[in-house]
Amino acid sequence: MGNDMLQMTVIIHTRDSEATLPRLLESVRWAEECIVVDMESRDRTLEIARHYGATLLSTPIVPRIDGIRNDFLECGHHEWVFVLDSDEYLAADAEQIVRGLLERYGETSDAFCIPRYNMIAGQIIRSRSWYPDHQIRLFRKGCVRWSDSTHKLSELQTAQERLHKLEPPGCLHIHHENYTSIQQFIDRQVRYALNDIYPEEGFSFQQYVAWAYEEFDFRLDEKNDGELSFALATLMAWDRVVRGLIHWERLGRKDSLRRAYSLPITTISRYPEGVFPGDVEELRRQAEDLHQRLQFLESVPGVKLLARLTKSVRREHRKTKDRLKRMRQYFRGKSATG
Amino acid sequence: MSSRLCAVIVSRGLDEMLRFCLKCFFESAEQVSGSVEAVVVDNASLRPYLATSFPDSRVRLLRFDASTGFAAACNQAVRDCEAEHLLFLNNDVFLDRSTLVRMLQHGTVEGVGVTGSWLYFPDGRVQHCGVVFGDGEIGPYHLHRGQFMEPRSQFETFQAVTGACLMVSRALFNRIGGFDESYSFGLEDIDLCLRVRQAGQRVICVDAGRPMHFESFTPGRIELDVSSRRLFMERWRDKYTIDG
C-alpha cells in the first residue's frame, strides 16, 4: 500500500454481493485499509474482495445487519472509519472531498453526516422523504454505535456539536442503488419487517394504521418522482400495516384489530395537522414573512384597498403564528416526555 | 484493444440534451473505421446520471459530487482512457453524420495537433469557424460568430479553436500536460491550443458537415468566464499574433 493513500479504514458488509461490490471497491481504492465483513456469501463476493486486496472477515448470517456492525467497528488500524453497504458507492472525486473534510474539520468533529442518493427501480428519488437521507458513516473510531435494527440511523456517542453535517448540493454523497425493481423492494420490505424486533408492550394497531396514513402523506411527491412516488408511498404505508399485523401475531393476537378502522385517524397521528418536525422551520419563516408584509402595508398611509389587504394579511399572520405556537408546544411536550 | 476515438463530455443536468448529443456522436461514429467510446463526466448534476440512462455499453460514467472545473474534469476523464484520439465535446453540440470522418481525415495528418469543426447555431448562423485574437483587451474571439457564412475550403489553420468540439491525439494531450486546471470555466481550450502550437503542431478548423451548437446552456458560466479571462490575459497577452 502506498503512503499517499488516505489513512482510513473502509468497512463493508456483504452477502452475495458480486453484482455491486466491484463498483464500491473501485470507488474506495484510495483508502489505505478496506475490510470486507462477509455473511456466508455463496457467489464470487470473496474472490472479488481478495482481488481488490481487502481484508476478509466472516460472520454468521444474522437477521439484522445493524446489530453486528458494532462488533467490527474497532477492527481497522486507522483513526477514521467509513462504513458502506455493498450496494452503495462513492463518486470519482470522493477521495479529494474526504481528504478536504478531514483536514478542515477532523480536529473539531468526530463524525460526518453525509447525504445519500437513493435509487429505486431505476430512478433517483428526490422527494424529501428519501433525500437527502443523511447518514453518519464517516467517523472517528469508537465514536459511533448502531442499534440492533434494520436501517436505523447510527448514533454519535460523544456530543452533537461534534457532528458535521454536509449540506447538498455540491458535497460528498453516498450513492445507493437500493432496489432495482418494485418487486425487489417488496421482497426486502417483507424480509425486514419479519426480521425486526417488536416491543412486548404498548401495542396499538390503531397507531400502525395512523402511521400508514402518515407514511403515505410523507412519501408522496409526484412532482419530483412521478408515478413511482405513488407506488413507493403506497408500499411504505402498506409496510406499516404489515408490521402492525406481525406485531399483533407475535403478541398472541390479544388485541382487537377492528377498532383501528372506526377512528378518525388523524387524532392519534404522531404529527397533528400533518406537520412534521422539519416543517416547523418553514412555518416560522412563513410567519416572519407575513409579519414583514404586514409592517410594510401598515406603513402606507390610509388607502381603503390597502386597509382590506392589511386586514387579510393580519388574519393570515395570526393564524400562522397560532399554528406555529401549537406545533412548538407539541414538539416541546414530546421531547420532554421522550 | 484500445479504441480509435473517445469523446469526453462534461455535463451537468440537461439529461435529454446529453442523450441526443450522444446519439449524434455515435451516428457520426458509424462512418468511422475503428471503435469509439464516450466518457460522460457527470459534473455534480442535482439528479445524478444513471448508467441505465445511457444503455449504450460504449458510454462510461464518471460522477463528481462537487462541481469541478472543465479542465480538471476533462483531465481526470482522460486519465482512465486509452483511445488513440480524444474528442472534447459539449453536451449541446449535435454532430453531423460526416463530422467525425472529416475531422479524422484532416486531423490525423502529420503536423496537425488540434482539430476543431465549424459549428452552427440552430438557425444556421455560424457559431464557430475558428478563433482569432484582437488587439489589447479584446483577446480571443470567435470569427464570424452570428453571421450567415459558408466554408470556402475544407479546412483552415488558426491559432485556436473552441473546446466545444475539439479533437487531439491522446499522446499529444498528455505530452503537453492536458488542460490547465487553473482555469475555472472557459478559455482553457484556447490555452491548450496555444500550447499545442508552442509544441510545434498546427491547429485547424474543418468544414465537417453542419454540426449544431446551442452554446452556454449551463447556468453560472458567465461569472466563471470572467475569472478565466483575467487569468488568460495575464498569461498570454502579447504572446499571440493579432489576427482578428
List, as one string, the DSSP characters of A136-147: EEEEETTSEE--
What is the average pLDDT across B77-100?
Answer: 96
Average pLDDT, chain B: 93
Q: In 3D, which of B25, B19, B15 has the Cα closest to residue B211?
A: B25
Give the residue on A whose Cα is nearest the Cα of B49: A124
For chain A, the first-to-last Cα distance in angstroms comes to: 48
**What is the structure's pLDDT at A302?**
58
Confidence check: pLDDT of A262 > 70: no
Angle at A323 between CA A319 and CA A328, to 5 degrees: 150
Express each pLDDT in A213-245 by its tens digit.
Answer: 889 988 898 888 999 999 999 999 999 999 999
A99 touches chain B (CB under 8 A): no
**What is the structure's pLDDT at A232?**
94
- Interchain contact, B62 vs A117, CB within 8 Å: no
Are the CB atoms for A163 and A155 separated by under 8 Å?
A: no
- Interchain contact, B48 vs A93, CB within 8 Å: no
- Interchain contact, B65 vs A119, CB within 8 Å: no
**What is the structure's pLDDT at A325?**
83
**What is the structure's pLDDT at A273?**
56
What is the average pLDDT across B165-184?
Answer: 96
Choose the closest CB to A169 out of B44, B52, B76. B44
- Interchain contact, A169 vs B47, CB within 8 Å: no
Burial (0-12, 13-18, 19+ Cβ within 10 Å), A285: exposed
Neighbour-count burial for A65-103, b at 16+ CB within 10 Å, e otherwise: bbbbbeebbeebebebbbbbbbbbbbbbbbbbbbeebbe
Confidence check: pLDDT of A338 > 50: no
Confidence check: pLDDT of A300 > 80: no
d(CA A182, CA A194): 18
d(CA A213, CA A236): 10
Choose the closest CB to B66 out of A123, A126, A170. A170
Q: Which of residues 111-170 of A touch B (CB under 8 A)?
A: 117, 119, 122-124, 126, 169-170
Coil/strand/helix, residue A274: helix
Confidence check: pLDDT of A328 > 60: yes
Substitution target from B46, B61, B65, B68 for chain A, most A beta carbons within 10 A: B65
Contacts B64 to A, Cβ<8 Å: 91-93
Q: Alpha carbon of B159 to those of A119, B19, B144, B198, B234: distances in Å?
A: 46, 32, 15, 10, 18
Contacts A126 to B, Cβ<8 Å: 47
User: Residue A142: which region, alpha, beta or left (left: phi > 0; alpha: psi -120 to 50)?
Assistant: left
Q: Give, to the nearest 10 degrees, the angle between helix A304-337 and helix A279-299.
A: 150
Q: What is the ipTM of this complex?
A: 0.86
Average pLDDT, chain A: 87
**What is the structure's pLDDT at B193?**
97
The confidence band for A276, taking pLDDT boundaries of 50, 70 and 90, is low
**What is the structure's pLDDT at B25?**
97
Instruction: Identify the top-confidence range among A145-159, A273-287, B144-158, B225-239.
Output: B144-158
What is the identity of the amino acid at B123? Answer: D
Express each pLDDT in B188-213 by its tens digit.
Answer: 999 999 999 999 999 999 999 999 99
**What is the structure's pLDDT at A63?**
77
Angle at A317 between CA A314 and CA A322, to 5 degrees: 125
The confidence band for B244, taking pLDDT boundaries of 50, 70 and 90, is confident
Contacts A101 to B, Cβ<8 Å: none
Superfamily of domain A6-178 in the CATH hierarchy: Spore Coat Polysaccharide Biosynthesis Protein SpsA; Chain A (3.90.550.10)
- Interchain contact, B48 vs A172, CB within 8 Å: no
Confidence check: pLDDT of B173 > 80: yes
| Structural domains of chain B, with CATH | 5-236 (3.90.550.10)
Lowest mean pLDDT among A18-32, A54-68, B104-118, B173-187: A54-68
Are the CB atoms for A28 and A97 separated by under 8 Å?
A: no
Express each pLDDT in A162-215 by its tens digit.
Answer: 999 999 999 999 999 888 899 999 998 999 899 888 999 888 898 898 889 889
Lowest mean pLDDT among A49-58, B209-218, B228-237: B209-218
Eight-state DSSP code of residue B39: E
User: Residue A219: which region, alpha, beta or left (left: phi > 0; alpha: psi -120 to 50)?
Assistant: alpha
**What is the structure's pLDDT at A129?**
84
DSSP string, A30-46: TEEEEEEEE----SSHH
Contacts A97 to B, Cβ<8 Å: 65-66
